[in-house]
Structure 1
Amino acid sequence: MSVRFQARSRSTAFGPARIELLRGGIVIVQLSMLCALLAQARTSSIGESTSRSPILADWDGSGVIRSEDSEFRLKVGGLVQADGRTFQGDEPDSLLDQFVLRRVRITLEGTLFGIAEVKIMPDFAGGQLVLQDAYLDVTLRPWLRARAGKQKAPFGLERLQHPAHLAFIERAYPTQLAPNRDIGLMIHGELGEKTLQYAIGIFNGVSEGASGDGDISDDKDFVGRVMVQPFSLSDVEWLRNVGLGLAASFGEQEGTPASPGLSSFKSAGQATFFSFASGGSEDAVVASGPRLRWSPQVYYFFGPLGALGELVYVDQEVRRGALATHLSHLAWQAAARGVLTGENASHRGVIPKRPFDISAGGMGAMEFAVRLSSIVLDVDSARLGLAKTKSSYSSVALAVGLNWYLNANLKAAVDFERSSFDGGDRPTEFLIAGRLQLAL
């Protein structure tokens, strides 16, 4: 009797997206093993005569493995945000009611030799592997640190806030004019018992709201930010958490039709309402020359109350064929939040005094938030034919949100946002969005 085996093709099972996911998982495992081995070697060398475990494991909201003296440390965290969106009214066909995985991130943060910190953060949302953060941060002095790699540019107030701690499901319009993540070198630190925080760096340069893994020209962007808490050491408690800041960036970019160096802009429902013209060398609008951004920022927290405001201004030289001109864009937001159950509000979210536990009577913490945001794009985009014909040139959005913090790691949120538009053919957008979040 003979037995015949037939191999079936599985070429579609391991496509490029899945291969990238597997590679990302392998890298994460390798880095975890390396940090654990370094921690074990360090502890063994300093504590051979002791009876303590060579590697210590802790939990501070995330899993931590460290050497006995904490000179070597590995923190494994993550963020999962499962969202649902529904649109009310006469929305365009492109606005779909759907469930999405907004963020699926694994975070590895390691400490080496007590002075160097490394962070690796891939994102698997959408079934694709995107490396969000990958940098090395070295402490040179207590007030001086150097960071190299892919990181958040030191600019936008809300952009620099961790996405797990946002008061709303989506960030406001100013974030779309600020740079996101970029590759470069940054010097940063704190002075005066954290009264002043500063950061300045040189980066490849990215367009508004964008991240980059390379450059489109030889020119670079200089980005800097200063944040001051002038009353942080005051005896007046209600003044301690006042923050005033200013950020700026300057550089030159030369785009091409394939890589124009310009961005489109989206509503809170992630629907594009403005795009520059594209096409061949004579039709496409590209970045061509100097770009200046600046942003005044303010925040305030006192007990269960908090507020923030920021404005972002961009002046960018662009070109379409033989036509060259400057475009100026402006966006701002004002937001307030209040913890209804009395816990303290902060940039780091809310920690419930009584975590959700039905048997113990704990219900977690509840927070209410309200925000007004606007963006105004240069009208020359329409007058000179630089934007696609159906683009809108300004928008005003009013949002209210309710957040339920079940414990330090679990959060549920629901937002209601109304966005109106001028120009183009977009009707007013009514968005209801929900989120279930696990943050470690």
Structure 2
Amino acid sequence: MLADDDQTTAPDQQSVSDQPTTPGHPTLERPARRTVLGIGAASVGTLLGAGALASPRPGNLGESTGDRRLASALVPHLTGQRTVAAALIEGGTTRYVGFGADQHREFEIGSLTKTFTAALVMDAVDRGELALQDTVADVLGDRASGAAVADVSIQELASHTSGIPSLPSAVTAKNIWRTPLHRDPYAGFDAEAVIDLALDAEPVHRGKVVYSNHGVALEGQLLAVAAGASWETLLHKRLIDPMRLRETWAPITADHLPANAPTGHATNGHRSGAWTMDGFAAAGGIRSTATDIASWLRSMMDGSNPGAHGIEPVARQNETTQVGINWFTSQLEGGGSAVWHNGETGGFHSFCGWSPETERGWVMLSDTATPDVDDVSMRVLSGEVLR
């Protein structure tokens, strides 16, 4: 997805924002700057014409907490960051470090949410509720009759090979004013809308890895139909509660957020509104902490997470990056590999991944929407940082 960071592409040309990006490392092709959850060229144009002309507000890194060695090693790599929480997993030890935060501070994790949807899908496969080769029509029946996506499979949705554009044109059109104001671009599109918009979609470049938020949101809603419960209900009953992730949740709509819910900063330093994502939440609507995401990552590393059965690649993006069920595997500079995912909303950026060869895991959560988090994270996993 590596393209010029300032290039944009119209939605019908597979605009891909909010997608995993690791500057300086293997990445998926992407025409837009935003990783994980951006909203397309029309809104970007408005952003440039209206809100983006506001002067940047430089970030000041918060005071460090936790492991001093980690803090000392990270500080040179955190220019422009404000509030950060991170966790390093090595063997049986998890070490935490924070800047203006401890390991219990809540962040929007953006597209890291997709790894939770992956675990729910693999759990549903184990339960016999769903198969990776099941299609949209298999799950929806007559409702999908005549739809161009009727024969798209769960596996295609999870590996970003479905050809479903990342963002429906209806989302882009509705958000011409929301983007410059840093508002949630997905608000107002519920679970039924996610399905209906997908049934109206025309796949483009099917079979090629092109990152799609809509595709994964549909994956989550098809799972919900197959299991007979909402995605958020399944998230809590099958993952959050049994894994005791007490600091992890998905508000779905803004009215479920407490008044003091943390908000983050856009790349230019301006405050961004909270993103809850409504029916698209399966692609990016979870809020969590370094403590819980470290536990989540450890369960992936030791194989106890149902999503661990889905990390084997089923599609290839390029010579260095492959895709499994909502997880990416990339070659690391200097040798070895990383299994990873990142996330970005309007005001947050996140990273979660590990190297199977070194058994080193890393979580990093920031309240500033910048892909710099990905670069330092990959360098941690490769051993360049924190040797």
Give the TM-score of the pair, scaled to structure 2.
Answer: 0.25
| Structure number having the greater strand percentage | 1
Higher CA-based Rg = 1
Higher relative contact order (CA 8 A, sep 6+): 2
Scaled by the length of structure 1, the TM-score of the pair is: 0.23
Task: Give the helix-richer structure, 1 or 2.
Answer: 2
